[in-house]
Structure 1
Amino acid sequence: MRIVDAHVHVWDADAVPIPWFRDDLGLPRHAAAADLGRELGQAGVSSAIAVQAADSVAEAEWLTATAARDPYLRRVVLQYSPEPGRAAGATAVAFSPAVVGVRAAVPQFAADLSDVDGLDALAEHLGATARTLELLIRPEQLPAAAALSRRRPDTAIVLCHLGLGARTADAAWLSALAEAASAPGVSAKVSGLDLAARGADESRELLRSAFALFGADRLMYGSDWPMSTRTTTYAEVLAATRRALPALSPSEARAFWSGTADRLYPFTA
């Protein structure tokens, strides 16, 4: 079964500063593409999509240049900085063939996302250029993703980490996720969930709920490397995802492991 990892990060905190990076986070200063490639090769993963870790133009240029010469990456998602009067970090390289989407990392904004400057304009631009809008949001903001999708139906929207991350999968999150999934233009990544630490029953119930709401053709695998490997290995992240999956038909398995990612993040070269 071909596997695409739809959510990884690479960086060099010495060459291109990452504002949020601290040594006490337990993360490597150099999350190198070569190190990732070894992990992917050993796990039998064919390719990955790199998501920009911060939001500077310098980092965006470094990331696209890295992807252009790496055999596993090739595709990148850049980061949008929603500050009034400031262009997105993606602007300088928005039409690079490697750029398949832009992520708005906005969990600190209002629940309805109304204070995220330029979000609708960004969504419209991405839809017009056949690129995907990613949203890194908290559970309370999930209904706003559906509302945005209905305003911009030509734009594919992808939720990072099921809009949950490592938080507890409670009834409020599930209700909000159901609202997000009610918009057919919204898909999601099964990433950043710390499934290896959740326990088998909780992990299976979490993914059962996600597949019931979205279906395999709107879900995709992501490891969140190297964030996810602070306490475990890449191989265990992949294994924990496999263990938590509901029973899938061959076509559903192909969609989840590679087809959804290839459809929503097509190579533009």
Structure 2
Amino acid sequence: MLIDTHLHIIDRLALRYPWLSGEPDLDHDFLYETYAAEARRCGITTVLHMEVDVDPAAMQAETDHVAGIAKREGSLIAGAIVSCRPEEEGFAAYLERQKADPFVKGFRRVLHVVPDDVSEGALFRENIRRIGGSGLTFDLCTLPHQAGRVTALVDLAPDVQFVLDHCGVPDIRSDAFEPWKAGVAEIARRPNVICKISGVVAYADAETWTAETLRPYIEHVIASFGWDRVVWGSDWPVCTRGGGLSTWVAATHAVLSSSSEAERSKLLYANAQRLWSL
């Protein structure tokens, strides 16, 4: 059993994605049907959709679009982590609408595509604190140099369950283990953060990486957070930069091969089931 907590659907007929113009390898349609056919072969049984930084005016439209796919017979999609703008005045009302929708499991605002001081704004932090007690999570998509800002934000909102995406986005291609290692360990000291082991093949050299290349990064995350605070995600289609979904699933199983069945089950599905009531 495998729960994928990080699927992106890109449908350019349905939604606008302004950032895609600068990413030619992703500036294509990556539709649910394509993903699902491969996911089932990999043993993936349940999926959370992750927002794809659509045009801000279309944030609700993205959620509605994915919810429509989830309603199809046999769909793997069980919920969504939706886009948000905590730095804006309208967030409080937006939060209340999302809390009323059981399909919505959490929020994300990608922080490495905006100035660092966005997460330091008083309104941003006040709105993040509003999430506390809602049962909704907040995904942190940041770069290693932002670890200090991550811990500052997390410490200001102890009642919010944060999720650190993509192992904290290590630069595996450049073998930049430090200071990423120290930053992840410091973030992991906060009990209200879990870490998503998702799509790190995209940060390795596409031509040369092996499971052993990824092993020290994945094992450091597990050692820092513990087996009860890690979940798995594909980051499809971004993972196609490093070999694709099937390759990433195989590498995950290779790295985890020496762990116990109980440990693997926590990372591969049980923690996600508990965290998002899947």
Post-superposition shift, 1:227?
1.2
Equivalent residue, structure 1, for 2:248: 237
Match of 1:248 in 2: 259
Q: TM-score, structure 1 length as denominator?
A: 0.87
Cα-Cα RMSD = 2.6
CA contact (8 A) 1:102 1:134 kept: yes
Query: Structure 2: which amino acid aligns with 1:64?
Result: A
Q: Per-residue displacement from partner, 1:220-264 (whole Å, max 9, x unpaired)?
A: 111101111245232111011222237322221111000111122
* Distance in structure 1 (CA, Å) of the matches to 2:94 and 2:26: 25
Normalised to the residue count of structure 2, the TM-score between the two structures is: 0.85
For residues 45 and 243 of structure 2, what CA distance do their matches in structure 1 show?
A: 21
Q: How does 1:38-53 map to 2 (within 5 A)?
A: 38-53=37-52
2:80 counterpart of 1:76: yes
| Cα deviations by residue, 1:174-233 (Å, 9 ceiling, x for unpaired) | 111111001011111111211684334331111121111011111111110111124523
Q: Which residue is 2:32 aligned to? A: 33
Asked if residue 110 in structure 1 is aligned to residue 109 in structure 2, the reply is no
Following superposition of structure 1 onto structure 2, how do residues 51-70 of structure 1 map, counting pairs within 5 Å? 51-54=50-53, 55=56, 56-69=59-72
Point out where structure 1 has 5 or more consecutive residues left out of the alignment.
none
Which structure 2 segments of 5+ residues have no match? none
CA distance in 2 between counterparts of 1:122 and 1:232 reads 38
Q: Which of 121, 135, 149 is the aligned partner of 2:140?
A: 135
2:186 is the counterpart of 1:179: yes
Higher helix share: 2
Instruction: Specify the code of the residue in structure 1 equivalent to 2:181.
Output: L
Decide whether the 8 Å contact of 2:20 with 2:27 is kept in 1. Answer: no
The CA distance in 2 between the partners of 1:7 and 1:164, in whole Å, is 14
Write the distance in 1 (CA, Å) between the matches of 2:106 and 2:139: 7
Q: Is the 8 A contact 2:69 2:75 kept in 1?
A: no
CA distance in 2, matches of 1:252, 1:118: 39
Moved more, 152-161 or 118-127: 118-127
Identity %: 26
Instruction: For 2:210, give the aligned amino acid.
Output: G
Equivalent pair of 1:60/1:93 in contact (CA under 8 Å) = no
- Secondary structure at the residue paired with 2:119? coil
Shift of residue 6 of structure 1? 1.1
Report the number of matched residues: 265
